[in-house]
Amino acid sequence: MDLLEPSVATSWKRFRRWYLRPWRTVRYGEISVYYKKHLDGGGSSFGQGYIPFLKSRGMPKQQKVFEWCSGPAFIGFSILAHDLCKTLCLADINEQAVEACRRTIRANGLEERVSLYHSDNLQNIPSYECWDLVVGNPPFYNETQPWCIRSHDKDWHIHRRFFARIGDFLKPGGVILLQEANYASTPEDFQKMIEDAGLSLVLVHNLKPGEMSHYYMGMVRRTESPPSWLVKGGN
């Protein structure tokens, strides 16, 4: 029996993953979120930590939330489902992740409340977009991990590009709240990028270097004071 050439075998696995595997759904409140297993980078598990965190801070309902590197947007749709925002904006470079978001938007009748972009980082986001809160569970490894290639951000290039542009889309008083991995980075890895972007790191929550857990970094413009909900109770 002839064996498939490695390149053919790889292509078949990719085809099967993208087109033959069934769509799944997970429900947050009244919203059913569509996804395929390989698109879930952790947003359906540890990404859901955003909800109790934001509620514990007493965050008021935000006008517009943006999920960076959204994938199927488990985090963003969950924030919307828990009535923590009025409208939502999503963007991802992965075409199938964008299709997952489209399915969720259509199935739940969210066309008037959710905007969606197929974008390499912030490159294809129109200038009129403006957000009160930016969240995200971005790729969190500086070095390649063979078991999770999608989580690789070589030399923090994706983060660097994000910080360089995000200020263009923040409303006055806007907040950036990112979820990072304790076993992959510390805030010091991003400090210069944050400062070069004219931002201030005002919150680090649950920092436990080396542990298999996640921490939050909260940022605002250097010229602005953080909202009281963000710094409530300290770090």
**Residue 143 pLDDT grade (very low, low, confident, very high; cuts 50, 70, 90):** low
**Phi, psi dihedral angles at 5 (to 5 degrees):** -60, 145
> Which residue's structure tokens are 């790729």?
139
Report the pLDDT averaged over residues 50-65. Answer: 98
Q: Is residue 1 part of a domain?
A: no
Q: Is residue 150 part of a domain?
A: yes
Q: Is residue 17 part of a domain?
A: yes
Q: Is residue 78 part of a domain?
A: yes
> What CA–CA distance (Å, rounded) separates 194 from 45?
27
Q: Is 91 in contact with 122 (CB distance < 8 Å)?
A: yes
**pLDDT higher than 70, residue 90:** yes
**pLDDT score at 14:** 57
**pLDDT score at 205:** 97
DSSP string, 18-39: IIISPPEEEEETTEEEEE-GGG
Q: What is the mean pLDDT of the chain?
A: 90
> Residue 66 belongs to what H/E stretch?
strand 62-68
**pLDDT score at 21:** 82
Q: The domain containing residue 128 runs over which residues?
A: 8-231
Say how many domains are in the chain. Answer: 1
The lowest-confidence range among 37-41, 56-60, 109-113, 123-127 is 37-41
Query: How many degrees, rounded to 5, is the angle at CA 127 between CA 123 and CA 129?
Result: 100
Report the pLDDT averaged over residues 124-139. Answer: 97
> What CA–CA distance (Å, rounded) separates 90 from 35?
15
Tens-digit pLDDT profile for residues 193-205: 999 999 999 999 9
**pLDDT score at 145:** 45
> What CA–CA distance (Å, rounded) separates 233 from 199?
21
Q: Is residue 3 part of a domain?
A: no
Q: Is residue 104 part of a domain?
A: yes
Q: Is residue 206 part of a domain?
A: yes
Look at the pTM and tell me if it is higher than 0.85. Answer: yes
**pLDDT score at 169:** 98
Report the CATH number that the domain containing residue 168 is assigned in CATH. 3.40.50.150
